[in-house]
Amino acid sequence: MATVTLDNLRKTFGKTEIIHGVDIDITDGEFIVIVGPSGCGKSTLLRMVAGLETVTSGEVRINGARVNEKEPMDRNIAMVFQNYALYPHMSVFDNMAYGLKIAGKPKAEIAARVADAARLLQLEPYLQRKPRELSGGQRQRVAMGRAIVREPDVFLFDEPLSNLDAKLRVQMRLEIRQLQRKLGITALYVTHDQVEAMTLADRMIVMNAGVAEQIGAPMEVYENPATTFVAGFIGSPPMNFLSDSALPALPPTTRLGIRPEHVTLTAPGRGRADATALYSEALGAETLVHLRLGDGEQVTARIGGKTVPPAEGTELGLAWPDDHAMLFGPDGKRIPPG
């Protein structure tokens, strides 16, 4: 049960600042996802909370108390690593029990807590096995189990699903979310996968080049991205951006953002812009139509899977409702409507 506060958190390696001041108040039991492309500083941010990286300036507070100088073990956190970091020579039981053993807990209590975690994660049949005898998904569960048995204040996840295949990833994503809900433990979760961020987060931090570009609930971020970076990064396929060369009505140097699902195809001359169909990708439930505008910019439209897509080379008009079009200034920031 814990709150976590990051207060103007900065990190410098040598002379380069790579985290440029991140602020957030995380409430008890909240699931926060830090999402961004590789190299954006998201892992560093998490490792600063864990105590594996020193804090250059600013403060990390857990339950209101400054922990900058505390060792990881004294912060009462638990961490799940990307490659799981299971101790290869220890059995599943010993892997989960190791932290408790070091903490000097009585044997009976250790056994009980490991047994509880194993039941929760359906690991009971594997307790005596070594990590190498487990599948990827099972190893993932052991890593989770190791975090759970410590009954930490905060869970830290560093891209825990990226070593799994696509199907397992979806399944484990669900399990992590359910588990965190059930245990009610505050969680920080780092990923580069915007789908994971959307599905897991209570709130997400979208990071770019060491800056938290936007913090908010997934749908809020999706509906109201604060910058072109966030707008382009969250959502798949990404948002379309049109400049004033394609839309003469736009103020100069601004860009108009419109999500593919809001683009509708009409006859040439009937929409807000004209375009040529390039090719389409039928995904089953929906079809993505890729088009080229007169100035060469590309636009993607998302249409129903049953609709017959336009043939290559077809001239079309593009339309969209005004309330879904977003205007971004030359600095990439959103210009509020009105």
Q: Which residues bind another protein (CB under 8 A)?
A: 50-52, 71-73, 77-79, 81-90, 98-99, 102-103, 146, 150
Nearest distance from residue 109's CB to another protein, in Å?
A: 16
CB-count exposure of residue 114 (10 Å: 0-12, 13-18, 19+): buried
Provide the token pair at 208.
């770019």
Element (H, E) at 109: helix 107-120
Longest dimension (CA), the chain: 78
Q: Which is nearer to another protein, 90 or 211 (CB)?
A: 90
Provide the token pair at 307.
């609709």
Q: Which is nearer to another protein, 150 or 259 (CB)?
A: 150
Distance, in Å, from the CA atom of 215 to the CA atom of 224, rounded to the nearest integer, reads: 11
Q: Which is nearer to another protein, 189 or 241 (CB)?
A: 189
Nearest distance from residue 134's CB to another protein, in Å?
A: 16
Nearest distance from residue 52's CB to another protein, in Å?
A: 5
Nearest distance from residue 142's CB to another protein, in Å?
A: 11
Q: Which is nearer to another protein, 117 or 275 (CB)?
A: 117
> Considering Cα of 325, then 260, then 35, then 219, what sign does the dihedral take?
positive
CB-count exposure of residue 253 (10 Å: 0-12, 13-18, 19+): exposed
Nearest distance from residue 39's CB to another protein, in Å?
A: 15
- Tell me the residue type at 49: V
Q: Which is nearer to another protein, 96 or 289 (CB)?
A: 96
DSSP 193: -
